[in-house]
Amino acid sequence: MAEVNKQNLKEHFSKAYEDFSDAIFRYCLYQTSNREKALDLTQETFTKTWQYLNGEKAEEVENIRAFLYKVANHLVIDDRRKKKTSSLDAMEEAGFDVKSLEDEKVNHENEFEGKMAIEALKMLDEKYRDVLMLRYVDDMSVKEIAKITGESENNVSVRIHRALEKLKNILGEEL
Amino acid sequence: MENKFNNLILTIKKDRMSPEEKVALKNSVMLFVDTYQASQPSPYVKKSPYFSGFSFAHVGKLVTAGAFLVVLGVGGITAASAKALPGDFLYPVKINLKEKIEEKIALTPEAKLVFRQKRMETRLQEVETLMDQNLLTSSNSDIVESNIKREAIEISDNIAEVRKTNPGAAQNADLNIKETVRIHREKINANKNASKDGDQINYSSRILKSLPAGDDEARDDLRINQTTPEATPSKIIKPDIQIQKDELAPDPLSVSATEAVKD
């Protein structure tokens, strides 16, 4: 029985990879501005999650997506502590990093949109950018975002509102 | 504003891993999943408090490799060689120093297998980069072929080693490698078909022939496995690999043994 459960867990985990790996990668990419680093962090997110799920202290994970984001978030924070070069401005200095996003741009239907996305995000504070991405890019609920960031739902709602206001200013005035 | 905002969100949503990156990452993650399961300590075995996992052999390897990395890191040669392509001045540094050190640092057979999977992926990406830039030549395609063959042999041997302790992980790694090769084979083939340069087409054809079995063969392997339980992917791969081994380094002992049989 235990074996069957283990196999089920592996299948669910494999499906979770298929469903959420791109989103986790994107989250790490926008947090680190470095494609290679984002790939490493994405891999580590899944291996750490698997370790947790198989560990002695594992508790039932209700929402695997939120859990993965939480792990990714911790890894990103750890990474920043190790290396304090996390701003999106560093992206342009790093050469390859900008190129990674610029390369992605080739796939975009409209080249201007790609530039606009990067420019608009660069102008937002990190705390606003994070909630905006989780809410609208990753389609998360306020409750899920609160779980990931460790903030209250009320704080998250306020932050999203302010982020939208700020973005509105950027999109209206700067672009 | 709403339209701009929607465009912004759609644009960001398009940032994702390439299919190759996604498969390669999944290979590594699932290999970890398999090996992590296998390496779980039994709850019935209590470790002695006087025992520790300390090993002088491992420490020695790490210290040596670490020292090398520091030396190379200072020189910056390793970093500079990372993007070198076959035929480049720094390419030997990349494969004979940088990657060899990384390989040494991977201590377990499973860790080595993960590293070698990535290295095979790197070899195939190098081919694609050379083709993209119309840079395939007789000499660098020789290097590419030789590297790919050597990589296939090392991976095959590595899989055989992992199979002894963790057959599930070995089989997954086997299939994952074939899937990776299949994806790159398609890409190289597409580049070849799109090319109008006769030399590029010839060299890429040669490289395609040197690639190990792809996923189509992997599916065949699975079918064979289902009908004949004693057949394993390794047994099916081995003949190809053996041919490649013979091509790479003819063993004088094996020749004399064959002659001895004839006599």
pLDDT in tens, B81-103: 778 888 888 888 888 888 888 88
| CA–CA dist A165, A124 (Å, integer) | 11
Question: In this complex, which of A54, A110, A113 lies closest to B37 when CB atoms are compared?
Answer: A54
Q: How open is the CA angle A83-A76-B71, to the nearest 5 degrees?
A: 35
Q: What is the ipTM of this complex?
A: 0.70
- Beta-carbon pairs below 8 A across chains A and B: 82
pLDDT at A21: 92
CB contact (8 A) between residue B26 and residue A21 = yes
User: Which of B47 and A134 is assigned the larger pLDDT?
Assistant: A134
Q: Do B29 and A46 touch (CB under 8 A)?
A: yes
Residue B3 is encoded by which pair of tokens?
């339209």
What residues contact residue B115 under an 8 Å CB cut-off, 6+ apart?
A: B102, B103, B106
Contact A39 B1 (CB under 8 A): no
For the stretch B70-83, pLDDT in tens is 655 555 666 777 78
Rounded CA-CA distance B92/B99 in Å is: 10
Q: Between chains, do A39 and B32 touch, taking CB under 8 Å as contact?
A: no
**Cβ neighbours of B76 (radius 10 Å):** 9
CB-CB under 8 Å, B21 with A47: no
Confidence grade of residue B19 (pLDDT, cut at 50, 70, 90): confident
Chain B environment of A47 (Cβ under 8 Å) = 29, 32, 36
pTM of the model: 0.47
Residue A138 above 50 pLDDT? yes
d(CA A73, CA A31): 9
| Record: contact B8-A13, CB cut-off 8 A | no
Give A-chain residues touching B14 at CB under 8 angstroms.
Answer: 104, 107-108
Query: Does the pLDDT at position B253 exceed 90?
Result: no
Per CB-CB distance under 8 Å, the chain A contacts of B5 are: 167-168, 171
Q: Show residues of chain B in contact with A21, CB under 8 Å.
A: 17, 22, 25-26
Nearest by CB to B1, from A116, A133, A168: name it.
A168
Per-residue pLDDT at A64 exceeds 70: yes
Band of pLDDT at residue B252, cut at 50, 70 and 90: very low
Per-chain mean pLDDT for chain B: 71
